[in-house]
A = this chain, B = another copy of it.
Amino acid sequence: MLARFFNPERIAVVGATPKEGKVGNILLNNLMVFRASAKDVSIYPVNPHYEEILGIRCYPSVLQIADRVDLAVVAVPAMSVPEVLEQCGKKGITNVVVISAGFKEVGRAGAILESELVRICETSRIQLIGPNSMGILNTHADLNATFGRAAPAKGAIAFLSQSGAFVLAVIDWARTAHVGFSKVVSLGNKAVLDECDFLEYLVMDDETEVITLYLEDVRDGRRFMEVVSQVTSTKPVVVLKSGKTDAGARAASSHTGSIAGSVEAFRTAFHQAGVIEANSIEDLFDFSLTLSRMRGIKGGVAIVTNSGGPGVMAADALDELGLELASFERGTLEQLRALQIANFYNPVDVRGDADSELFGAALGIVAGDAQVGAILAILSPTAFIDFVRAGDYVLEFSDRKPIIPVFMGGERVSETIERFRAYGIRNYFDPGRAVKALSAVKQYTASKERVRAPPPHFTVDRATVERLLKPVEGEVARMGMGLQGFKILDAYGISVPNYGAAKTAEEALEIADRIGYPVAMKILSPDIVHKTDIGCVKLGVGREQVAETFFEIIHRAERYTSARRIEGVLIQEMIEGGKEVIVGMKRDPHFGPLMMFGLGGIYVEVFKDVSFGIAPLSKDDALDMIRNVRAYRLLRGVRGERMSDINSLVDVILRFSQLSTEFPVILEADLNPIKAFEHGKGCCVLDFKMVLRE
């Protein structure tokens, strides 16, 4: 029951102290405020060195407390925490917040101590927040179980943070910035409870409209995606993820591996799960506050302003962020025209000499237009504007449409801004920032509209692949995968050229005759990866050269490996024409198979023009991946070319998604190149490389 964390009646403060400035003292003081504000709340200081603290009886340990205890907040030295936890277990306390630091975050010894905490929690069924947490807050119950000195105002935003320091900063800032919260949890080291647990709780919490997360990593990426996908279908989740510079991830061996780092994995996971990503603290709370009031936009954005310049800035920002300016209905245009204002098309400009009444009239007309999904009400502080009156209009018409006020000024607008705040409406000074917040709403709308279909399941020959991927003694983990590769793809219904493996020149001729000329011939040996470089790949071989070429390839290969390690020569159909694309996969440590799509060669290498999806993918996901590369235009066909066979590419991505999901042993893979032919003519994988788990 996570609910008990936020509405406890009996709270033990382990490590309470009368020494001012100490964590155990601030905590106790903060909780005394809670006791004063709520009835039936008892606080129990725990510290063997005191009989009484702040006038309340102090206990040597939680075991001496006679009553039931709902929540224990622990702020003792790290080394003493296991013992305290054991006692909590004995006492039957299931909800514990460990403030104490000195665990995983300080290195190996701390990590061992932390695993001891986990063990105790498992045995005693303790739900633990932390260690290294700054505590929790429930503003609606006046509960401040943190060592922040002051609690933020009540609000509709829940805030979960992996960084405790960041929680302290936000709490302190929130009071001056007038940002209110419902619940705040400093997750600390996430030894037991993590963001997923609280997401599941908060989605049901009536006081929370939007969930805001500061993350450095996730403990279980798959669970995170599952949980958060559920949550976002009901409430918006806004995330600030730090740690975007991951030079480490670049040292990979496949194309996909070298491009798909953890930044891409997180970004893709967020997108697929409907999470709004913020890139700065400002965005995090701008987005959250706006989403707490507006869950969606249906229609375009209207701008009503008394000043051209800022109106144009807003229109620029809308364009840049891909939001649409609403086209007004005829009736709206006629009514606006009757006002005799400067511009009655969107952006509506009532001009600098307009008074609040004229502005309000225009705003009211626009708010009645069915094509309008949201309104930016931008006002400069001219001599003619009475901001209090203008604010009345914004409040009045907010019933009809979500209105974001951009009342530009300082002293002259402060009273109105405060009034807006009482209604949960946030005023912006910078039109661009208002538009950015609006774009988060648009993004949430789009994510909710996206069909989340289940991934398709293809009937495949899984047994063959199991056999082929079974580890062979002494075999290298990285595989050129000539023959095996084609067999694996074949087994999953992915189209490859006609091929056959020849152990003798006679067999080679037989296979080539079956395939038709010319053919390609390649060495088959687990030891030879860069086949082309040593002349072990021959293209466009005609019937007369087959035997001779066979011997040449074998001969060259023998210089690099023993005859025992040469499995023969692959004879392969020559594929002409088509556009080159690449499908790849890298198994992300957090989220699993991160699939990549791009157009071959230069587009991937120079422009990094690729798209990602986390497997298993739905058909729409796969189609989105193809459409989201900039070079998609080339597949649609430029200069009178015919369109490429997109459906067959979707099919390859989905089948490879299934293969990647079903065989965790595959760490990285490139299907590269894949030749995509004209619409209706399919596609064909010409080469396949993968890296297997050792």
A residues at B contact (CB < 8 Å): 21-23, 26, 101, 106, 147-150, 161-166, 168-169, 172-177, 214, 216, 240, 242-245, 279-282, 306-310, 312-313, 315-317, 319-320, 342, 352-353, 380-383, 408-414, 429-433, 602, 605-607, 609, 630-631, 633-634, 638
CB within 8 A of A411: which of B21, B175, B316?
B175
Contact present for B169 and A312 (CB under 8 Å):
no
Contacts of A631 in B (CB 8 A): 602, 606-607
11 inter-chain pairs at a CB distance below 8 angstroms, sorted by A residue, are A22-B383, A162-B309, A165-B307, A165-B310, A169-B381, A216-B309, A245-B316, A281-B429, A282-B432, A602-B634, A606-B638
Assembled-state Cα–Cα distance A315/B309 (Å): 35
Assembled-state Cα–Cα distance A380/B164 (Å): 9
Contact present for B352 and A433 (CB under 8 Å):
no
Q: How far does the Cβ of A289 sit from chain B's closest Cβ, in whole Å?
A: 15
State whether A242 and B172 are in contact (beta carbons under 8 Å apart), knowing that A307-B163, A307-B166, A380-B166 are contacts in the complex.
Answer: no
Contact present for B316 and A176 (CB under 8 Å):
no
Contact present for A23 and B411 (CB under 8 Å):
no
Contacts of A309 in B (CB 8 A): 161-163, 165-166, 214, 216, 242
Closest to A176 in B: B410
CB within 8 A of A352: which of B21, B164, B607, B609?
B164
Q: How far does the Cβ of A278 sit from chain B's closest Cβ, in whole Å?
A: 10
Contact present for B319 and A165 (CB under 8 Å):
no
Assembled-state Cα–Cα distance A502/B692 (Å): 66
19 A-B pairs besides A162-B309, A168-B382, A242-B312 with CB distance below 8 A are A150-B411, A165-B352, A168-B380, A169-B380, A169-B409, A169-B429, A177-B410, A243-B316, A244-B319, A245-B315, A280-B430, A281-B429, A281-B430, A281-B431, A282-B432, A282-B433, A605-B638, A606-B631, A607-B631
State whether A312 and B21 are in contact (beta carbons under 8 Å apart), knowing that A101-B353, A605-B638, A606-B630 are contacts in the complex.
Answer: no
Assembled-state Cα–Cα distance A123/B409 (Å): 40
Contact present for B282 and A352 (CB under 8 Å):
no
Closest to A314 in B: B242
Q: How far does the Cβ of A75 sit from chain B's closest Cβ, in whole Å?
A: 11
Contacts of A313 in B (CB 8 A): 240, 242, 280-281
Assembled-state Cα–Cα distance A320/B173 (Å): 26
Contacts of A411 in B (CB 8 A): 150, 172, 175-176
Contact present for A243 and B149 (CB under 8 Å):
no
State whether A410 and B173 are in contact (beta carbons under 8 Å apart), knowing that A309-B163, A352-B165 are contacts in the complex.
Answer: yes
CB within 8 A of A244: which of B148, B320, B609?
B320
Contact present for A310 and B166 (CB under 8 Å):
yes
Contacts of A244 in B (CB 8 A): 316, 319-320
Contact present for A432 and B280 (CB under 8 Å):
yes
Assembled-state Cα–Cα distance A316/B263 (Å): 11
State whether A245 and B410 are in contact (beta carbons under 8 Å apart), knowing that A165-B307, A169-B381, A281-B432 are contacts in the complex.
Answer: no
Contact present for A380 and B165 (CB under 8 Å):
yes
Q: How far does the Cβ of A13 sit from chain B's closest Cβ, in whole Å?
A: 15
State whether A432 and B279 are in contact (beta carbons under 8 Å apart), knowing that A101-B352, A165-B307, A216-B309 are contacts in the complex.
Answer: yes
Contacts of A410 in B (CB 8 A): 172-177
Oligomeric state, in copies: 2
Assembled-state Cα–Cα distance A267/B411 (Å): 34
Assembled-state Cα–Cα distance A413/B161 (Å): 21
Closest to A150 in B: B411
Contacts of A413 in B (CB 8 A): 172
Contact present for A163 and B310 (CB under 8 Å):
yes
Closest to A325 in B: B245
Q: How far does the Cβ of A553 sit from chain B's closest Cβ, in whole Å?
A: 23
Assembled-state Cα–Cα distance A174/B381 (Å): 13
Closest to A305 in B: B165
Contacts of A279 in B (CB 8 A): 432
Closest to A632 in B: B606
Contacts of A315 in B (CB 8 A): 245
Contacts of A307 in B (CB 8 A): 163, 165-166, 169
Contacts of A429 in B (CB 8 A): 169, 173, 281
Q: How far does the Cβ of A213 sit from chain B's closest Cβ, in whole Å?
A: 12
Assembled-state Cα–Cα distance A319/B244 (Å): 9
Q: How far does the Cβ of A542 sit from chain B's closest Cβ, in whole Å?
A: 26
Assembled-state Cα–Cα distance A35/B88 (Å): 75
Contacts of A630 in B (CB 8 A): 606-607
Contacts of A638 in B (CB 8 A): 602, 605-606
Closest to A162 in B: B309
Assembled-state Cα–Cα distance A319/B149 (Å): 34
Closest to A284 in B: B430
Most buried by B among A101, A147, A150, A381: A381
Assembled-state Cα–Cα distance A308/B242 (Å): 10
Contacts of A214 in B (CB 8 A): 309
Assembled-state Cα–Cα distance A55/B634 (Å): 77
Assembled-state Cα–Cα distance A307/B216 (Å): 13
Q: How far does the Cβ of A638 sit from chain B's closest Cβ, in whole Å?
A: 7
Contacts of A317 in B (CB 8 A): 280
Assembled-state Cα–Cα distance A23/B175 (Å): 38
Contacts of A166 in B (CB 8 A): 307, 309-310, 380, 408
Most buried by B among A147, A149, A166: A166
Contacts of A150 in B (CB 8 A): 411
7 shortest A-B CB distances, which residue pairs? A163-B309, A165-B307, A176-B410, A165-B380, A169-B408, A172-B409, A280-B432
Q: How far does the Cβ of A173 sit from chain B's closest Cβ, in whole Å?
A: 4
Closest to A22 in B: B383
Closest to A384 in B: B21
Assembled-state Cα–Cα distance A431/B353 (Å): 40
Q: How far does the Cβ of A162 sit from chain B's closest Cβ, in whole Å?
A: 7
Contacts of A26 in B (CB 8 A): 383
Contact present for A282 and B383 (CB under 8 Å):
no
Assembled-state Cα–Cα distance A13/B243 (Å): 59
Contacts of A607 in B (CB 8 A): 607, 609, 630-631
State whether A243 and B163 are in contact (beta carbons under 8 Å apart), knowing that A168-B381, A606-B633 are contacts in the complex.
Answer: no
Q: How far does the Cβ of A128 sit from chain B's closest Cβ, in whole Å?
A: 19
Closest to A214 in B: B309
Q: How far does the Cβ of A370 sit from chain B's closest Cβ, in whole Å?
A: 25
Contacts of A242 in B (CB 8 A): 309, 312-313, 316
Contacts of A216 in B (CB 8 A): 308-309, 312
Most buried by B among A176, A320, A429, A606: A606
